[in-house]
Amino acid sequence: MKYEKNKSAVHAIKVLCSIAVFVCGLYLSFPAEAAGTYTEPGSYNSTQYCSNPVKCHTISNADGSVTIMYSVWDGTSQTLHIDRFSSTGSRISGKSVAVPGETWGGTVYRGPDGCNYIATGNGPDAAFYISKYSADWNFMGTASIGKEESYTMEAFAGGNSDMTMVGDYLIVRVAR
């Protein structure tokens, strides 16, 4: 009799697990939009099931202030805005710099050399641009990477960029 009760309980557990796997399989097979996804007005989301590049980058400063960087594409040019706020929320400073391309990769890397590096993309001939700015955001130069040599037609359609520096080499990982 004891064996029969355990056999029934095991059968019930197997049935419940099968139902749970079936329901999870149904749920996971349908696409879902991530919370907070933002697509610029007038643009399209060609990769609706991939992530989009971030539109904002924040840095906590040693003095308690926060630096917020965000890009704006106005249809003809892209601008990176750098705003610094105190711990009470008041704006301390702000600067805007023109950047190449139509899309910002979401990363600002402060190298050990004290310079700021950013990745942008989607220019007429180039898939990616890596731009270098001084610590106070004065433009120092840009390197471009072509669409054919990077096998990329639309930069940052599937995510962001990351950077690090090893010796004199800036290493950039970008999402295509």
Query: Are the C-beta atoms of 55 and 69 separated by less than 8 Å?
Result: no
Residue ranges in the chain whose pLDDT is less than 50: 1-3, 17, 20-47
Quote the distance between the C-alpha of residue 99 and its chain's center: 17
Does residue 28 form part of some domain? no
Does residue 109 form part of some domain? yes
Domain assignment of residue 132, given as a range = 56-174
Does residue 88 form part of some domain? yes
What is the sign of the dihedral through the CA atoms of 93, 94, 95 and 100? positive
Does residue 166 form part of some domain? yes
CA–CA distance, 101 with 79 (Å, rounded to integer): 10
Does residue 25 form part of some domain? no
Residue 38 has a pLDDT of: 40
Residue 12 has a pLDDT of: 56
Q: Count the domains in the chain.
A: 1
